[in-house]
Structure 1
């Protein structure tokens, strides 16, 4: 059961699908969009941005988080992730680790091209995660 209302889920889905349009993916042709909802209801969109030096690329999920954090937001409730292909995609390993910094209970919606979705909690996708609570001073 989601902590979000159906309208809030639909809004995240729409924003993630819209964010794909800004993807810079000339090498993979794999456009990804993300929409991240903060605890205060603000939504931050992100898309993947590739680079000729492949290691310099950034995923849509991390783009959304970086935008949110750079505007002072550190607490989030959900993220929706979509691509152009007609199947559900899940965040890559580095995105899962990156998102874990901001909470293991983040809801993740994997959005299909037809707006259907599957839902998971980050802790289920990244069991035994290394996180800030492990470091001294936390």
Structure 2
């Protein structure tokens, strides 16, 4: 331990002192991977067409999986209910996170929806224009069962 400290002090002593007319060294910027992702939240009624289009594409992908999983009663009718889902997708289409913001009272409907979200992944990759602006997108998606 003592040798390490002594070696560090020796190295500092050997470094040339900064002159008054020189600018101090700038702190190294963190690598791009360490920077927080540029994220946008796309609400229920997005006015920006490219965001609404992407949101709709993801919603349709989930719905196609959900049709196979949604619980039905003995007569084959779909259970009634409503849920609100938050879905976070990376620019490459990878599912980052999903959460039921407003779950339904039916545990079976909630489970079917979350299973469908997982099964629908990966989602479409962002267009080049979207990728230029965002790294992640959080989509707020409503689901009305049996309507």
Q: TM-score, normalised by structure 2?
A: 0.30
- Which structure: larger Rg? 2
Higher helix content, 1 or 2: 2
Q: TM-score, normalised by structure 1?
A: 0.31
